[in-house]
Amino acid sequence: MQTPEDFGSQIAPNQTFLPEQAKPRIIDPDDPPWGFLIAFVAWVATLFLLIIAPLIFLLPYAIKRGLQPSSPTFAQAFTELALKDPIAIFLQVLSTLPTHLVTFLIVWAIVTRFGKYPFWETIGWSWGKHLGLWSSIGLGVLLFAASSLVAELLGGDKPTQLDLILNSSPATKYVIAFLATFTAPFAEEFVYRGLLYSSLQRIIGKVMAVVFVLGLFTIVHVPQYWPNFGVIAAVGLLSVALTVVRALSGRLLPCIIIHLLFNGVQSILIVAGIAGPKPSLKPEQVTSLIQPLFQTFFLLN
């Protein structure tokens, strides 16, 4: 019969044993510790941030320029400033950075339940099945080429709102390129293929979850690329490809690499002047394309 001392002698000097509840739980990304409702609320919250942050950044500048919020013509003057002033446009674009940072915090809080679960393992930060680094890079290049072809065939040279914003100033163009490459792929993948898809596929299955996430991702990008239906279709192609990759691999890392490469190539082309806004754009096109969005916002408030 073994005594307690015998058991103790079998334990290595540096070996420790944690109670079962103290061991960190590694969660399957396809069986996350959050539900669809909280994921949907997080998605709505990120949209709200994208709407309210530009106004917060722009309002002090508008007041400095002499606009008074109490004036009956403030809405019209504020809209004109937001549409035509290069500094105002730059401030609106710059506001995306803190929005992405807050998005990261929201995602971290949901995924880890404020530190109870490991973030990277739970969100799916590994290669999973079928895809590794080089295959993800190759798929990203192929997807960029296919999306560019779709955009050209269906949309041609029709300017988008993003083109008009890029054309406002070099500083704005560089900030957009930075955000599109280094923060947007993470923020969007964490929300769409991380929070939303992971929780939704558990309820309605992978196929319907792919369709649902495709719809949300594309609809959100419509204002940015309106009225070029070719570019909107290309965004839809990107979304369905990324969500299918998430479904097949069971992990999020390949989606982030593909998305980062896709946006990175586009950013390089824009900065180099190979892609992006056309110099023939006229100032009145900016007003005709963007003004309805601002008018809608002020009508609702």
pLDDT of residue 7: 43
Question: Quick one: angle between helices 96-112 and 36-64, nearest 10?
Answer: 160
- Per domain, the residue ranges of the chain are 33-59+72-273
Instruction: Give the separation between CA 186 and CA 256, rounded to whole angstroms.
Output: 6
Instruction: Give the separation between CA 213 and CA 219, rounded to whole angstroms.
Output: 10
Question: pTM for this structure?
Answer: 0.82
Phi-psi region of 114 (alpha: psi -120 to 50; beta: other; left: phi over 0): left
pLDDT of residue 128: 83
pLDDT of residue 301: 40
Instruction: Give the separation between CA 22 and CA 156, rounded to whole angstroms.
Output: 58
Backbone CA torsion sign across 185, 188, 192, 196: positive
Number of C-alpha atoms within 13 angstroms, CB side, residue 48? Answer: 8
Instruction: Give the separation between CA 92 and CA 50, rounded to whole angstroms.
Output: 10
CB-based burial of residue 293 (10 Å sphere; 0-12 exposed, 13-18 middle, 19+ buried)?
A: middle
Those residues of the chain that have pLDDT short of 70 are 1-26, 275-301
Q: What is the pLDDT of residues 47-90, one digit of tens each?
A: 999 999 999 999 999 999 999 999 999 999 999 999 999 999 99
Backbone CA torsion sign across 94, 99, 102, 103: negative
Instruction: Give the separation between CA 108 and CA 114, rounded to whole angstroms.
Output: 7
As a whole-number percent, the residues of the chain with pLDDT over 70 amount to 82
pLDDT of residue 186: 97
User: Cis before residue 254, ω within 30 degrees of 0?
Assistant: no
**Which has the closest alpha carbon to 252: 141, 123, 79?**
123
Instruction: Quote the distance between the C-alpha of residue 245 and its chain's center.
Output: 17
pLDDT of residue 291: 46
pLDDT of residue 24: 53
